[in-house]
Amino acid sequence: MRLRPIAAIALRQLYLMRSSPVRVLPMIAWVAVDIVLWGFIARYLNSVTATGINFTASLLGAVLFWDFFTRVMQGVTMAFFEDVWSRNFINVFASPLLISEYLSGLVLTGVTTSLVGLIVMLIIATMIFGLHFAALGLLLVPFLMVLFLFGIALGVLASAMVLRLGPASEWLVWPIPALLSPFVGVFYPLATLPSWMRHIGQLLPPSYVFEAMRSVVAGGGYSNAALALGVSLAAVYVLLAAWLFTVVYRYAVRSGLLARYSAESVS
């Protein structure tokens, strides 16, 4: 796997953003709205309850981590969608570009855009609401690693789905984070869920992040084994998503789907 083609995929996305500020604005605007909205909700809950729970740390922290995961996933899919919307697959895959290099370029793009969103969220949460994530210390590393890896896995999986079903299936991608959020316990412990939802949540890596975060914020401990399991699950999902994308790509080439890729490509 060569670095130059990977950098070229990411550089193309950079040029697109530089030529169109409208592409950059959503990376900043939506995360800022989420942090401000939930920050004031948490501040209000702190003022009207006497439970001793720090809602600013628990709710705002959950929103920040979940938005980071969402931005990672969308960073990968948006880079892929640029090729979908421009009908650029023939040009890309007619070049001596390996599928692993293409996926790595998408991941590099997702890393860059999600880091921009993360920095904006951290600045707003710290300056306006006094939320200091440095208090989590080294726990930030496994937290962000789990969300980062799982976001990449879902981004690659969503890209494979659109490649197989066609651009008309794009609307299936955007609700994925919302559909997963009830199962991973973004705002509540998994123990509040019915058993069948709890079992699904235990298969989703972000649930281990939010369980550990709530425990730390409440002054309790956390399980190193659970966090290690979350990282391992996320890594497995990345490998499975990359394998599935490769299988779908080979099918698209053999069947001619790639050559006639259009909004009606659902066969």
First to last CA, the chain: 32
- Can you give the pTM of this predicted structure? 0.85
Q: What pLDDT sits at residue 157?
A: 93
- More reliable by pLDDT, 94 or 40: 40
Confidence grade of residue 235 (pLDDT, cut at 50, 70, 90): very high
pLDDT at 237: 95
pLDDT higher than 60, residue 104 = yes
At 197 the pLDDT is: 92
pLDDT of residue 216: 80
